[in-house]
Amino acid sequence: MNVILLGPPGAGKGTQAKRTAAAFGLKHLSSGDILRAERKAGTELGRKAQSYMDRGALVPDELVVAMMADHIARPDAAKGVLLDGFPRTRAQAEALDRELARMGNRIDLVIDLAVPDDDVAGRLTGRRSCPKCGAVYHIRFHPPKTDGMCDGGCGALVVREDDKEAVVRQRLKTYHEQTEPLIAYYREKGLLRQVDGSRSVDQVGAAVDALCRGAQ
C-alpha cells in the first residue's frame, strides 16, 4: 500500500506519519526530513536546497523528484511507502505517478489533513524537533517527557530554521499557491480522503488509521 499525506505546513503530517507508518509496516518518507539530512551531511543537493528552504520556497521539482524516486526504489520501501510532504506540485505528482507505474505500482490513498492557517502558526512556533530521529513535539500540545530532550534518548531537541514567523507566512503562501491544487488532482482520480486535522493528535490519528485500514 502506498499512501500520501497532504496538508499545509504544521498540519501534523510528520506527527501522524511516524506512528501510522509503524502501525501499517510502511516506510515513512518525508521529503523535508530527507532534505534536512542532506543539508546536515553537506551534500551538493543539501547545499542547493538550503536557500529555498530557508525562505519558505519549494526546492526545484527535478531535484526533489530524483531524490524521492531514489528512496522509493530502495529495498526498505518495498512493502509500501507513506509519503509526507511529497508530492508538492502538479509536476511532482505526475512524475510520481510515472515512477510508480514504471515499478508496476501506484498510489492507493491520499489523505488531506485540513487545518486552518491560524492554527498552523501556533503549532509551528511551539514545535521542537529531534534532529537525530525526526520525532516531533510541541511545547504545549505534545511536550516531551523531559523539557527540551527527545523521548527516544537521542539528546537535545531543536527549533527548525524555517519555523520563524516570517518564513512560516511564506510557507503558507507557497502551500496555497502550489500544493493546494493537488487536492483537486487527487479528488479527480478518486483517491482523496479528507480528515479534520484541527482535532487532537489521537483523534486525527484514529481517523488516519481507519482510512489506511480501509485501503489495505
Does 13 qualify as catalytic in the annotation?
Answer: yes
Which amino acid type is present at position 135? A
Residue 14 within binding range of Mg ion, rule CB under 5 A: yes
Contact set with ligand AP5 (CB under 6 A) = 7, 9-15, 31-32, 35, 52-53, 56-59, 64, 85-88, 92, 123-124, 126-127, 136-138, 141-142, 162, 171, 200-201, 204
Nearer of residues 9 and 93 to Mg ion, judged by Cβ:
9
Peptide bond before residue 9 is cis, with ω within 30 degrees of 0 = no
Angle at 164 between CA 162 and CA 165, to 5 degrees: 125
Residue 147, number of CB atoms within 10 A of its CB:
9
Q: Which of 13, 36, 123, 128 is catalytic?
A: 13
Does 171 qualify as catalytic in the annotation?
Answer: yes
Q: Output the residue with the shortest Cβ distance to ligand AP5.
A: 32
In the complex, minimum distance from the CB of residue 188 to ligand AP5, in angstroms, rounded to a whole number: 20
In the complex, minimum distance from the CB of residue 66 to ligand AP5, in angstroms, rounded to a whole number: 12
Helix (H) / strand (E) element for 114: namely strand 109-114
104 exposure class (CB count in 10 Å sphere: 0-12, 13-18, 19+): exposed
* Cell numbers found for residue 72: 522509493
* Binding partner at 171 among Mg ion, ligand AP5, none, C-beta below 5 to 8 Å by kind: ligand AP5
Per DSSP, the three-state class of 194 is strand
Catalytic residue numbers, as ranges? 13, 88, 127, 160, 171
Residues that bind Mg ion (CB under 5 A): 14
